[in-house]
Amino acid sequence: MLDKTLTQLAAALKSGEFSSRELTSHYLQKIEKADSKINSFITVTAEQALNQAEAADKARAAGNAGLLTGIPLALKDIFCTRDVKTSCGSKMLDNFIAPYDATVVEKLNAAGTISLGKTNMDEFAMGSSNENSYYGAVKNPWDLTAVPGGSSGGSAAAVAAGLVPAAMGTDTGGSIRQPAAFCGITGLKPTYGRVSRYGIIAYASSLDQAGPMARSASDCAHLMNVIAGHDVRDSTSVARGVPDYTETLNAPLSGLKIGLPKEYFGDGLDPEVEKAVRDAVSVYESLGATVREVSLPHTHYAIPAYYVIAPAEASSNLSRYDGVRFGHRCNEPVDLIDLYKRSRAEGFGEEVKRRILIGTHTLSEGFFDAYYTKAQKVRRLIRQDFLDAFEDVDVLMGPASPTPAFDLGAKKDPVSMYLQDIYTIAVNLAGIPGISVPAGFAGGRPVGLQILGTHFAEAQLLNVAHQYQQATDWHLQLPAIAEEHA
C-alpha cells in the first residue's frame, strides 16, 4: 500500500484487493509507529475511523459505494468535527469539542471517506513553519531537523510520510502551497469562494480557503469533486456550477501559454530552487507549451498589504475568545476585565498575540485610513496585475517558496518568517487559485513549482499539474521515514 496514491487505493478497494477496514488499520498502525517522530497529528480518532471503515465496507458490498468510499483522510485541526476536539493548534481551544461538522467534513463524510484524525498546525493558522503550535512543532519527514512549512504543516507532513494518502488544509497566505512544497506533495488552493468556509475556524475571513493536499494532482481533482460547491450557510460561497475536475486531466498541453513573472526570479531566490523551477518549465516546453516573461509590478507590496489586512481581520475574528462562552478560561477571575485579560493572555500564543495587536492598532481611530484602507487599495492593484497577466497567458509559473524547507528554529524574528510567503500571499489577496507540485530537490529538501490561474481555473491548473506529473516522477518519491514504517 505504501506506493499507492489515493486514486490507486480507490481502484484497489473497488477491485477487492483489500477492505476499507484493512486499509484503515494499516494507516492507523503507521501513525502509531511513526508519528512520535513527526508530530503531525493532534488527535487520532481510531475507534471512529474503524467504525466508518466497517460502514464503508458494508456500503460497498451493497453496491452503494462511490469512488472515494472507504478512503482514509486526515483533517487539519481547523475544521469543526462533531464530537471531536477541534483545537486550531491553540491552548485557547484545547478543551473545545465541536458540536457540528464543517461543510467540508459533511461532504467528505457523505462521499464515504474516513477521518483518521486532526492534524497539527500553526496556532489559528498563523505561521509559515508549524512551530507556533501549542502541541509542539511538526518535523519535516524528508529531514527531521527541518520545518514542514505552515500553517498546514501537519497535513503536509502526514501525507509525505505516508501516514495518510491525503489530507485537508487551509490557505490564507500560502498555508497549503508552501508546506506542500516543503514536504514534496501536491497542494491546491482553490479560488476564494469555491469551497465553503462554514465550520472552518476563521483567521482572516476574506482570505481563508480550504483545499486538498495529496501526492498527485489526480488525487486533488477527485477530492475537489467532493468538497467544491455553493453553500447557503457561507455568505462568501460562490453560487456557481462545479465541473468534473477529473474530466480534463489528460487534455494535451499543446498551445498552452505560460507566463514567468520576472518579480518571482529576483533577489532572495535560492539558485537551486530557481534551477528546479526552470527545469520544470523546460518540461512544459517539451510538452508543447510556450513560455514568455510577464510582470506583476505590485508584487513587492503584497507582504505589507497582507500583514495589515490579515491581522486586522484576525483581531476581529479572535475577539470571540473571551473566556466566557467557550475555550480557555482563567482560574478565579477577580472581575470581568480580569477574566478577559488573563483568559486571552493564557490561551493565546506569542504569534497570535502579535497579530491581534497589529490588527487592533491598524483598525483603531486615526490609523484605519492610514493603514487598512490603503492596504485594501493595494490589494485591488495586486488583483488587477493578475487579471492583466491572464489576458496574455493561460497560467503563471514560479517557485512556491524562495528556499527549500529551513531548519527548525532558524527564523527567529517575525519579519524573516513573513518573507517566506513572498510568492504565495498575493494569490490570496487576489482570490485566484494556485497549486504547488513537487519539482525536484535543493540541498536534499523538496522544491515546489507553483502554478497559478485566473478565477475558477482549478480544472486547468489540475490538468497542467497532472500532465507534468505524467512526464516526471518527483511526486512519487518518498522520504526514508515512509519506507521505514511501511
Q: Where does the pLDDT of residue 223 fall: very low under 50, low under 70, confident under 90, or very high at 90 and above? A: very high
Evaluate whether 194 touches 238 at the Cβ level (below 8 Å). yes
**Residues 179-187, mean pLDDT to the nearest whole number:** 98
Show the domains of the chain with their CATH numbers: 6-249+459-484 (3.90.1300.10)
Closest CA to 41 of 155, 141, 145, 144: 155
Q: Is 139 a catalytic residue?
A: no
Percent share of the chain, pLDDT over 70: 99
Residue 2 clears pLDDT 70, i.e. is over it: no
Pairing type for strands 72-76 and 114-119 reads: parallel
Q: Which residue is catalytic, options 151, 315, 343, 436?
A: 151
Reading the block at residue 135, the C-alpha cell is: 502541541
- Rg of the chain over CA atoms, in angstroms? 21
- Residue-level pLDDT at 242: 95
Instruction: Give the three cell numbers for residue 136.
Output: 509542539
Is 432 in contact with 191 (CB distance < 8 Å)? Answer: yes
pLDDT score at 485: 60
> Do 390 and 454 contact (CB within 8 A), yes or no?
yes
**8 Å CB contact between 431 and 176:** no
Residue from 175, 216, 237, 315 carrying the catalytic annotation: 175
Q: Name the phi and psi angles at 320, rounded to 5.
A: -70, -20
> Helix %, strand %, coil % for the chain, to 5?
45, 15, 40
- pLDDT average, residue stretch 276-298: 98
> What is the per-residue pLDDT across 357-366, written as a single tens digit (0 to 9) for each?
999 999 998 8
The sign of the dihedral angle between the CA atoms of 171, 221, 74, 6 is negative
Average pLDDT over residues 160-179: 98
Here the cell at position 381 is 492593484
Mean pLDDT of 117-138: 97
| 209-244 b/e (C-beta count within 10 Å ≥ 16 → b) | bbbbbbbbbbbbbbbbbbbbbebeebeebbeeebee
Grid cell 485591488 is found at 380
Q: How confident is the model at residue 142 (pLDDT cuts 50, 70, 90)?
A: very high
Rounded Cα distance between 390 and 368, Å, is: 32
The average pLDDT across 92-99 equals 97
Over the range 46-79, which residues count as b (16 or more CB within 10 Å of their CB) and which as e? bebbbebbbbbbebbeeeebbbbbbbbbbbbbbb
* 79-103 mean pLDDT: 98
Q: Residue 28 has which C-alpha cell? A: 492507523
Structure confidence at residue 419 (pLDDT):
84
Q: How far apart are CA 178 and CA 420, in angstroms?
A: 9
% the chain with pLDDT above 90: 95
Q: What is the 3-state secondary structure (H, E, C) of 224-286?
A: HHHHECCCCCCCCCCCCCCCCCCCCCCCCCCCCEEEEEHHHHCCCCCHHHHHHHHHHHHHHHH
pLDDT higher than threshold 90 for residue 230:
yes
Q: How many residues does the chain have?
A: 486
**How far are the Cα atoms of 258, 354, 408 from residue 281, in angstroms, in the given order?**
9, 39, 30
Helix (H, G, I), strand (E, B) or coil at 398: strand
DSSP code at position 372: I
CA gap 275, 278 in Å, rounded = 5
pLDDT at 64 over 70: yes
Using pLDDT thresholds of 50, 70 and 90, give the confidence band for residue 319: very high
Check if 76 is active-site: yes
Q: How confident is the prediction for the chain on average, in pLDDT?
A: 96
Instruction: Give the CA diameter of the chain.
Output: 70
What DSSP assignment string belongs to 117-151?
A: EEE--SGGG--SSS---TT-PPPBTTBTTB---SS
Active-site residue among 30, 40, 76, 216? 76
- Tens digits of residue pLDDT in 234-255: 999 999 999 999 999 999 999 9
